[in-house]
Chains A and B, each alone.
Chain A
Amino acid sequence: MATVAEPAAVAHGAMTPLPYRVARTRRENHDNWTLELEPVADAIEPIGPGQFDMLYAFGVGEAPISTSGDPDAGDTLVHTIRAVGAVTKALCAARPGAIVGVRGPFGNRWPLAEAHGRDLVLVGGGVGLPPLRPALYHALANRTELERLVLLYGGRTPDDLLFTRELERWRGRLDMDVDVTVDSATSGWHGKVGVVTKLIPSAPFDPANAVAFVVGPEIMMRFTAQALLERGIPAERIWISMERTMRCGVGLCGHCQLGPTLICRDGPVYRWDEMAPLLEVREL
Chain B
Amino acid sequence: MAETLAAADLDSLFDALRSRGYRIVAPVVRDGAIVHGEADAAADLPAGWTDEQAPGSYRLERRDDGALFGYASGPQSWKSELLPSRVRLWQARREDGGFAVEEEPAAATPTAFVGVRPCELAAIAVQDRVFLDGRFQDRDYAARRADVFLVAVECGTPSSLCFCTAQGTGPGATEGFDLALTELLEGGHRFLVRAGSTAGEAVLAKLPTRAATRDDVDAAGLVVASAAHEMRGRFDVDGVHDLLLRNLESPVWDEVAERCLSCGNCTLVCPTCFCTHVEDTSTLDGTGAARERVWDTCFSLRYAEMHGGNTRPSTRARYRQWLTHKLATWEDQFGVSGCVGCGRCIAWCPVGIDIREEVAAIRGREEEHAHA
Query: Does chain A touch chain B in the assembled complex, meaning CB atoms less than 8 Å apart?
Result: yes
A81 to B64, CA, bound (A): 67
- Compute how far the CA of A132 lies from the CA of B188 in the bound complex, rounded to whole angstroms: 73
Smallest CB gap from A13: residue in B: B139
> For residue A251, which residues in chain B have a CB less than 8 angstroms away from its CB?
134-136
- Answer yes or no: A204 CB below 8 A from chain B CBs: no
A101 — which chain B residues lie within 8 A by C-beta? 99, 101
The reply to whether B276 and A59 contact each other, CB–CB distance below 8 Å, is no
Q: Is A234 an interface residue (CB 8 A)?
A: no
Q: How far is the CB of B318 from chain A (nearest CB, A)?
A: 9
Q: Taking the complex as formed, is B367 at the interface, i.e. its CB lies under 8 A from any CB of chain A?
A: no
Question: In whole angstroms, what is the CA distance A60 to B306 when docked?
Answer: 16
CA distance in complex: A101, B233 (Å):
54
Q: Which of B226-258 contact A (CB under 8 A)?
A: 245, 248-249
**Whole-angstrom CA separation of A40 from B135 in the bound complex:** 25
B306 and A245: CB pair below 8 A? yes
Task: With A243-B306, A281-B248 as known contacts, state yes or no: A253 contacts B135, CB within 8 Å.
Answer: no
Q: Is the interface of B mostly helix, strand, loop or mixed?
A: mixed
Chain A residues whose CB sits within 8 angstroms of the CB of B277 once the complex forms: 247, 253, 255
B135–A8 touching, CB < 8 Å: yes
A residues less than 8 Å from B245 (CB atoms):
259
Any A CB within 8 A of the CB of B278: yes
Total contacts A-B at CB 8 Å: 137
- On whether A1 and B332 interact (CB within 8 A), knowing A62-B278, A243-B306, the answer reads yes
- Are B314 and A283 interface neighbours, CB within 8 A? yes
* Interface residue stretch chosen among A15-23, A151-159, A169-177, A187-195: A15-23
Residues in A whose Cβ lies below 8 Å from that of B304: 244-245, 255
Q: Is the CB of A254 within 8 A of B276?
A: yes
Answer yes or no: A229 CB below 8 A from chain B CBs. Answer: no
Cα–Cα distance between A252 and B278 once the two chains are bound (Å): 11
Q: Are A58 and B94 in contact (CB under 8 A)?
A: yes
Bound: A255/B317 CA distance, A = 14
Which chain A positions have C-beta within 8 A of B314? 283
A254:B90 contact, CB within 8 angstroms:
no
- What are the interface flags for A134-146 relative to B under an 8 Å C-beta threshold, 1 for contact and 0 otherwise? 0000000000000
Residue A113 CB within 8 A of the other chain: no
Can you name the residue of chain A whose Cβ is closest to the Cβ of B267?
A254
Using Cβ atoms and an 8 Å threshold, which residues of chain A touch B139? 13-15
The CA of A84 and the CA of B305, in the complex, are separated in Å by 13
- Interface contact B312-A283, CB-CB below 8 Å: yes
Nearest-neighbor residue (CB-CB) of A17 within chain B: B101
Q: Are A15 and B325 in contact (CB under 8 A)?
A: no
Q: Which residue of B lies closest to A218 (CB)?
A: B311
Please indicate the chain B residues that have their CB under 8 angstroms from the CB of A254 in the complex. 274-276, 296, 298
Contact of B278 among A6, A60, A253 (CB under 8 A): A253
Q: How far is the CB of A127 from chain B (nearest CB, A)?
A: 11
Which bucket holds chain B's interface residue count?
35 or more
* Complex Cα–Cα for A97 and B251 (A): 56
Instruction: Say yes or no: is A257 at the interface (Cβ < 8 Å to chain B).
Output: yes
B96 to chain A, nearest CB (A): 10
Q: How far, in Å, is B122 (CB) from chain A's closest CB? A: 19
User: Given the interface contacts A101-B99, A243-B306, does A8 sit within 8 Å of B289 by beta carbon?
Assistant: no
Query: Does B92 touch A at the CB level, under 8 Å?
Result: yes
Residues of B close to A257: CB separation below 8 A: 325, 329, 333
B134 near A252 (CB under 8 angstroms)? yes
Q: Which of B168-176, B279-287, B341-349 contacts A (4 or more CB under 8 A)?
A: B279-287
Enumerate A1-46 residues with CB–CB distance to B below 8 Å: 1, 4-8, 10, 12-17, 19, 21, 40
**Stretch of A178-186, A206-214, A220-228, A260-268 lying at the B interface:** A260-268
Query: Which residues of chain B in 310-325 are interfacial with respect to chain A, using CB atoms and an 8 Å cutoff?
Result: 311-314, 316-317, 321, 324-325
CB of A111 within 8 A of chain B?
A: no
Q: Is B130's CB within 8 Å of the partner chain A?
A: yes
Main secondary structure of the interface of A (DSSP, over half): loop
**Given that A8-B135, A101-B99 are contacting pairs, would A16 and B90 also be in contact in the complex, using a CB cutoff of 8 Å?**
yes
Once bound together, how far apart are the Cα atoms of A84 and B306, in whole Å?
Answer: 10
B136 to chain A, nearest CB (A): 4
Indicate if the CB atoms of A85 and B280 lie closer than 8 Å.
no
CA distance A244 to B293 in the complex (A): 19
User: Chain A CB within 10 Å — which of B130, B275, B305 has the most?
Assistant: B275
Option from B89, B312, B317 in Cβ contact (under 8 Å) with A16: B89
Q: Cβ of A99 < 8 Å from any Cβ of B?
A: yes
Q: Judge if B131 is at the interface, Cβ distance under 8 Å.
A: yes
CA distance A272 to B286 in the complex (A): 45
Find out whether the CB atom of A59 lies under 8 angstroms from the CB atom of B286: yes
Q: How far is the CB of B361 from chain A (nearest CB, A)?
A: 19
B11 at the interface (CB under 8 A from A): no
Residues of B within 8 Å of A283, CB to CB, are 311-314, 316-317
Q: A12-B103, A14-B136, A243-B306 are in contact. Are A252 and B333 (CB under 8 A)?
A: no
Say yes or no: A255 contacts B275, CB within 8 Å. yes
Check if B136 sits within 8 Å of A21, measured CB to CB: no
- Let me know if A59 and B98 touch, CB within 8 A: no
- Cβ of B144 < 8 Å from any Cβ of A? no
A167 close to chain B: CB less than 8 A? no
Q: Are A60 and B311 in contact (CB under 8 A)?
A: no
Q: Which of B249, B307, B317, B328 gathers most chain A CB within 10 Å?
A: B307
Extra contacts, 4 of them, besides A244-B306, A252-B276, A260-B329 (Cβ < 8 A), are A252-B131, A254-B274, A254-B298, A255-B304
For this complex, 9 residue pairs linking A to B, each with C-beta atoms less than 8 Å apart, are A1-B332, A13-B90, A15-B291, A61-B280, A99-B99, A243-B306, A260-B329, A265-B135, A283-B316
B residues lining the A interface (CB < 8 Å)? 89-90, 92, 94, 97-101, 103, 130-131, 134-139, 245, 248-249, 274-278, 280-283, 286, 288-289, 291, 293, 296, 298, 303-308, 311-314, 316-317, 321, 324-325, 328-329, 332-333
By Cβ-Cβ distance, the 6 closest A-B pairs, closest first, are: A59-B282, A260-B332, A99-B98, A283-B317, A254-B275, A250-B136
